[in-house]
Amino acid sequence: MVQYSIRSHFLKRGFSTVEALLAVAVFSLLITAFSGAYLYGEESTMLAGNRARAVLLAEEGLEAVRNIRDAGFANLSDGTFGLATTGNQWSLSGASDVNDIFTRTVTVATVNTKRKQVTSAVAWQENAQRSDSLTLTTYLSNWIASGGLGNWASPTQVGLLDMTGTSDGLKIAISGNYAYVIRNVSGSQNFVVVDISTPTAPAVVGSLTLTGTPVKIAVSGNYAYVTNTATNGELQIINVTTPASPALVGTYNSPAVASGRGIAVSGTVAYLGVTTTAANEFYAVNVSNPASPVLLGSLKLSGSVLDIAVSGNYAYIASSHNSQELQIVSIAAPSSPTLTGSFNLSTNTDALAIDVIGTVVYIAQGTSGNILYTMNVATPSSPTQLGSVTVATSAINDIDVDPSGTYAFLATANNTGELRIVNVSTPSSPTNAGSMDVAGASVLNGVAYQQTQDRVYTVGNADAQELTVFAPQ
């Protein structure tokens, strides 16, 4: 019995060891399973999070291109691009853009004359062994060509803004939801930023007092470029990144002792015109560093440069020259601008305002001329007149043509119809289409068309409404 008991005891001890080993094995399996489930769960969460972020970036890409389309269908060039923001506005930039681990491209392709296909693609690297990507596609139409431009033959006033003081509104430029206004006064908040996101209720959001008296204004990206009567600083550069707090960041003093007048900006070059015949009148200025503008090149034109429009490799100039009121300057090499062509308008009246759409230049004479000319500049060395129309009984002070080339909007000194609209859809036969009298004003000095809203903004000498907003019917 004793022998049996001892054997049973050892058998029991052996069985307990096996059980322990089995228990350890089962526990290890459970730990491995739970650890694997946790790790795989973490990876799945990360992968799902990355895909969700990629979807948002792809959707943002489509919305950004839609925003660019709304600013002008012609902005949608075919190709593959990245996206960037300048002055709170989207733009196509480079071949791609990178956000953390994500690389985004947007591809624009023409479907027909009024339709584009847009693909927003996002690619990313999940880990060293695994990459992923997704694409979203949409179609965008040219809604302006589809009827977004209203009937401007019967404009109506829809908004106004009475600015502090009685100084006249002189010129206006629009970028996105903001209008930038200069006033005809030395000092006393002569640079004003206006929120026009609600056209019926424009509101001042920022202002600045510039030395000297402003003359003309252009806006490009985060900066406004203002010409000035000050002979020691004809060009002033204002940072408008924060519209409520505009700040003067740079000044350019040309070699000429003259007043700044015409201004246009293309890329990192500002083209400045001055009123003098004693020195060069046209200047190309490098503004890649707005705090330190640098002269690239200049040109003698024998006539004051009163207004400038730029398209491609050419600057189109409205001049005081009696036999070359239209002058065309090649700016293919900004360091060596050259006079390429010119045209003598029918009278000796100075050309005060100019605009260009495609191969058509719109140039207006002031004082006693009050004529709008349409010019074919397909061959810049030999511009030819397409048509003309007498617009008002007084000077044409400013012009802005809608991007589709249908209407030219003119600010004039005709005190019974200061705003004039000319139908230029057939450039060889421009016709007066409509006009509007501004209450309390005898002169409109500046005009700007806002394409997305299909609204016209003007500035003039009405003390109770220096800025006025018009809509089509």
Do 175 and 43 sit in the same domain of this protein?
A: no
Do 217 and 361 sit in the same domain of this protein?
A: yes
Q: Total structural domains in the chain? A: 2
Range of the domain at 41: 2-145
Bridge partners of residue 88, in order along the sequence: none
Do 112 and 231 sit in the same domain of this protein?
A: no
> What are the tens digits of pLDDT across the range 194-220?
999 999 999 999 999 999 999 999 999
Do 23 and 99 sit in the same domain of this protein?
A: yes
Residue 146 has a pLDDT of 45
Percent of the chain predicted with pLDDT > 70: 91
> What are the tens digits of pLDDT across the range 1-12?
445 554 555 444
Last residue of a domain, one of 117, 145, 173: 145
Q: How far apart are CA 116 and CA 81, in angstroms?
A: 15
> What are the tens digits of pLDDT across the range 121-177?
999 998 777 888 988 888 787 655 544 688 899 899 999 999 998 899 999 999 989
Do 173 and 310 sit in the same domain of this protein?
A: yes
Do 74 and 36 sit in the same domain of this protein?
A: yes
Reduced to 3 states (helix: H, G, I; strand: E, B; else coil), residue 63 is: helix
Give the model's confidence band at 117: pLDDT under 50 very low, under 70 low, under 90 confident, else very high.
Answer: confident
Q: How far apart are CA 120 and CA 316, in angstroms?
A: 37
Q: Answer yes or no: are the C-beta atoms of 87 and 241 closer than 8 Å.
A: yes
Do 265 and 329 sit in the same domain of this protein?
A: yes
Q: Which of 206, 208, 184 is nearest to 195 (CA)?
A: 206
Residue 383 clears pLDDT 70, i.e. is over it: yes
Do 6 and 29 sit in the same domain of this protein?
A: yes
Q: How far apart are CA 200 and CA 100, in angstroms?
A: 41
C-alpha separations of 126 from 35, 43, 301 in Å = 21, 10, 61
79: left (phi over 0), alpha (psi -120 to 50) or beta: left
Q: Answer yes or no: are the C-beta atoms of 101 and 74 closer than 8 Å.
A: no
Do 137 and 154 sit in the same domain of this protein?
A: no
CATH of the domain at 350: 2.130.10.10
Last residue of a domain, one of 100, 120, 145: 145
Q: Report how far Cα 335 is from the mean position of its chain's Cα atoms.
A: 25
Do 137 and 163 sit in the same domain of this protein?
A: no
Last residue of a domain, one of 96, 118, 145: 145
> What are the tens digits of pLDDT across the range 323-376?
999 999 999 999 999 999 999 998 778 899 999 999 999 999 876 668 999 999
Do 248 and 178 sit in the same domain of this protein?
A: yes
Bridge partners of residue 419, in order along the sequence: 411, 436
Do 454 and 380 sit in the same domain of this protein?
A: yes
> What are the tens digits of pLDDT across the range 45-69?
777 788 889 989 999 999 999 888 8
pTM: 0.71
Residue 298 clears pLDDT 70, i.e. is over it: yes
